[in-house]
Amino acid sequence: MTRKLKALQIVIKCSVFIIYSYLLWLIIYRSDGKKENFIIYVAIMAAVYIIYLVCNLAIKKGLKKR
C-alpha cells in the first residue's frame, strides 16, 4: 500500500467519523421530538456510510490492480 493511498484512506475514515458524530449530535441535541426528523437523519447517516463503503471498495480495487 502506497503512502498516498494509506493517507487518503485515513482522511476518508476521519471525515466519515466527524460527519457521523455531527449527525448524532444533531439528533441528540437539536431534535424537536419529531420522528420524521429522526428518520431523515438516519437516512442521511446510512447514505454517508454507503458512500464510505463504496470509497473503501474503490481503494481496495485500485490496490489490487497495482
- Residue ranges of the domains in the chain? 3-65
- DSSP label at 33? S
Other CB atoms within 10 Å distance of the CB of residue 43:
10
Q: Which residue has the higher pLDDT, 19 or 42?
A: 19
Q: What is the pLDDT of residues 31-43, one digit of tens each?
A: 566 656 666 767 7
pTM of the model as a whole: 0.46
Radius of gyration in angstroms for the set of CA atoms belonging to the chain, rounded to a whole number:
15
